[in-house]
Amino acid sequence: MTTSASTTSVGQTTTPYEGLIGLAREAALLGSTASLLNWDQQTMMPPGGLAYRSRQLACLASLHHGVLTDPRLGEHLAGCESDQALMADPTGPAAVNVRELRRLHDRQRKLPRSLVEELARTTSLAQHEWAEARRDSDFARFRPLLEKVVALLRHKAQCLGWPADGEPWDALAEDYEPGCTAAAVEAIFGPLRERLQGLLGELMAGSTRPSDALNELKLPIEKQQKFVRFVAAQIGFDFSRGRLDCSAHPFCSGTHCNDVRMTTRFQQTMVCEALGSTMHETGHGIYEQGLPAENIGTPMGESVSLGIHESQSRMWENQVGRSRAFWSWCHPKLAEFFGAAVESLSLDDVYGGANIVRPGFIRVEADEVTYNLHVMARFDIERVLIRGDLKVSEIPGAWNDAYREYLGLEVPDDRRGCLQDIHWSSGSIGYFPTYTLGNLYAAQLFDKAAADIDGLFEQFARGEFAALKAWLNEHIHSQGQRYRAADLCKQVTGKPLSADPLMRYLEGKLRPLYGQ
């Protein structure tokens, strides 16, 4: 890339762009260190470490905020923006980095340092309290800290502001899906909900249903651990540049493309969930490992948005991991790992078992049809919560009402209701809809990959996943933040995001399994 000044050495004046990138990389060092401490808190840290950890995280958040709001960063940005040669190609690395750092700098400057520190400290404590409250199904225990988190987030939204035709939720969602608004989400969710509920009713009335034999087996957790690690490596996760551990809630956090941390979880009777969660997080992990190393620490070395991130995890979990081709390779592997316990299972049993559709209480265990209904219920609640139209104490009631309406279920307790997800305790309001956007992007991107790659499913049936990974590396991962999510979708698939590919995929796969 070109800049207006000649090569510099230590002590000489740097160009505005060099100065800008230096500060961006410093912010990324602090941000990724915080992410590593958060990973440690979820996986390794003894309970006694909590109070000090929350102070460590608050300190790093404050330093991170300090770098991003540094007046020198603003001066460098102004210098870059007036350099026409530097900005000539709007999708070139320099212009992209300037565009995204401008967005970040302006946004951070609206937030008081004290609020940033307080949010980091409080959410660290709240995540711990959530885990305890979830274990005991005790919402009253979690409530005071959640009230504090929501009050801080409402303050954050006020500081950031939103357009005249928008609402507070929009201000927070910008952290996860730039440009996403509640109104836009509602416009997608309304019709999608009708189509999904229609398909659900149709399947439930079908003449047959897949075998549940796979989900009824009790399989030793140590064997499940070996099995899911094997699959993660087979589909392309590089264990020399990442780890897989256990946590209460599966996640993937990238500290650097060469050090990616994923987690999963196990239950004896739920090998499908452990496999699904692991393939899901591996999809995130492959994205992180595929980011361009030379651009790490700058927007050109970062993922586009959570919706695009989720498209990668859901694609490996669903389009790959719930396909018949995948299972025709994986079915004999089950016997290698679990021996006699699985020998009575046929290919139809395991493929069917991975595709059971059944309304349930838990989002992360949900099938592909009901999954988005779980997301829609959360979106409705957090939207009014952050607007101030719902009190924290009213969440359990609102939750149970939504599950009755969307999924036809009576939620038996808060552990299987509003306490199941970590997100609100970590301050992530505005996050949930990115899961459904991810499902839509996954279906649309996968259609294009399947059209571009000859014999994709035949490759899966042979246990070969490298061509899909290479396609994603080229079209998505290596691009960093060159395009915003909606533009990336158009760029890669030639069309704007639509719900049609997802619905076509679900109907095509599930109707035959349910005799429709």
Q: Which of 372, 362, 365, 213 is nearest to 275 (CA)?
A: 365
Which three-class secondary structure state does DSSP give residue 254?
Answer: strand
Contact window for Co ion (CB under 5 A) among 86-94, 307-315, 408-416, 504-512? 307-315
d(CA 385, CA 389): 6
Candidates 32-40, 218-226, 306-314, 371-379; binding stretch for Co ion (CB under 5 A): 306-314
How far the first Cα of the chain sits from its last, in Å, is 56
Instruction: Note whether 434 binds Co ion by CB under 5 A.
Output: no
Q: Least distance (Å) from Co ion to the CB of residue 61?
A: 23
**Residue 310: CB minimum distance to Co ion, A:** 5
CA distance 296 to 397: 44
Q: Say whether residue 54 binds Co ion (CB under 5 A).
A: no
247 versus 313: smaller Cβ distance to Co ion: 313
- Return the range that interacts with Co ion (CB under 5 A); candidates 308-316, 340-348, 376-384, 393-401: 308-316
> At its nearest, how many Å lie between Co ion and the CB of residue 284?
6
By C-beta, is 251 or 351 nearer to Co ion? Answer: 251
Q: Which is nearer to Co ion, 317 or 380 (CB)?
A: 317
CB of 490 to Co ion, least distance (A): 23
Calculate the dihedral angle through the C-alpha atoms of 477, 481, 485, 486, rounding to the nearest 10 degrees: -120
Q: How far is residue 471 from each of residues 46, 302, 317, 445, 496, measured CA to CA in Å?
A: 41, 18, 17, 10, 20
Which is nearest to 102 in space by CA: 84, 62, 83, 75?
A: 75
Q: How far is the CB of 304 from Co ion (least distance, A)?
A: 14
Query: One of 129, 174, 177, 281 is an active-site residue; which one?
Result: 281
Q: Which residues, 6 or more positions from 19, have their beta carbon under 8 angstroms from its beta carbon?
A: 72, 75, 76, 79
Query: Is residue 303 within the footprint of Co ion (CB under 5 A)?
Result: no
In the complex, least distance from residue 318 CB atom to Co ion, rounded to whole angstroms: 12
319 binds Co ion (CB under 5 A): no
Q: Provide, rounded to whole angstroms, the least separation between the CB of residue 360 and Co ion.
A: 18
Window contacting Co ion (CB under 5 A); options: 17-25, 139-147, 309-317, 362-370: 309-317
Of 228-236, 305-313, 394-402, 464-472, the segment contacting Co ion by CB under 5 A is 305-313
Q: Which is nearer to Co ion, 438 or 480 (CB)?
A: 438
For the segment 358-397, give every residue that binds Co ion (CB under 5 A).
Answer: none
H helix runs in 161-256, sequence order:
168-173, 182-204, 213-216, 221-235
Q: Which range in 310-318, 364-372, 405-413, 481-489 contacts Co ion by CB under 5 A?
A: 310-318
**Least distance (Å) between residue 306 CB and Co ion:** 8
CB 24 to Co ion: min, Å: 25
- Residue 309 amino acid letter: H
Question: In sequence order, what are the residues at sequence separation of 6 or more whose Cβ sits closer than 8 angstroms to the Cβ of residue 489?
Answer: 441, 444, 445, 495, 496, 497
Q: Does 263 bind Co ion (CB under 5 A)?
A: no
Cβ-closest position to Co ion: 313
Three state DSSP letters for 35-74: HHHHHHHHHCCCHHHHHHHHHHHHHHHHHHHHHHCCHHHH
Q: Concatenate the DSSP letters of all residues of 130-180 into one string.
A: HHHHHHHT-HHHHHHHHHHHHHHHHHHHHHH---TT--HHHHHHTTTSTT-
Judged by beta carbon, residue 313 or residue 319, the one nearer Co ion is 313
Structure tokens at 408: 């036809």
Starting at the edge strand that comes first in sequence, how are the strands of the sheet with 252-256 ordered?
Answer: 242-246, 259-264, 252-256
Which residue, 298 or 436, is less far from Co ion as judged by CB?
Answer: 436
Nearer to Co ion, 254 or 396 (CB): 254
Q: Is 289 in the site for Co ion (CB under 5 A)?
A: no
281 catalytically annotated: yes
Task: Tell me whether residue 400 or residue 444 sits nearer to Co ion (CB atom).
Answer: 444
Alpha carbon distance 435, 376 (integer Å): 10
- Of the candidates 262, 313, 307, the residue with the CA atom closest to the CA atom of residue 431: 307
Q: Which stretch binds Co ion (CB under 5 A): 286-294, 297-305, 312-320, 330-338?
A: 312-320
Among residues 298, 313, 318, 439, which is the contact residue for Co ion, using CB under 5 A?
Answer: 313
Angle, helices 93-109 vs 71-81, to 10°: value is: 140
Q: CA angle 293-299-300, nearest 5°?
A: 50
CB of 313 or CB of 479, closer to Co ion: 313
Number of residues that bind Co ion (CB under 5 A): 1
Amino acid type, 452: D
In angstroms, the CA 79 to CA 19 distance is: 10
What are the tokens at 84?
């026409």
Interface characters, 141-160, with Co ion (x: CB under 5 A): --------------------
Task: Please answer whether residues 259 and 238 qualify as being in contact, where contact means their C-beta atoms are separated by less than 8 angstroms.
Answer: no
**What amino acid positions are annotated as catalytic residues?**
281
Sites of contact with Co ion (CB under 5 A): 313
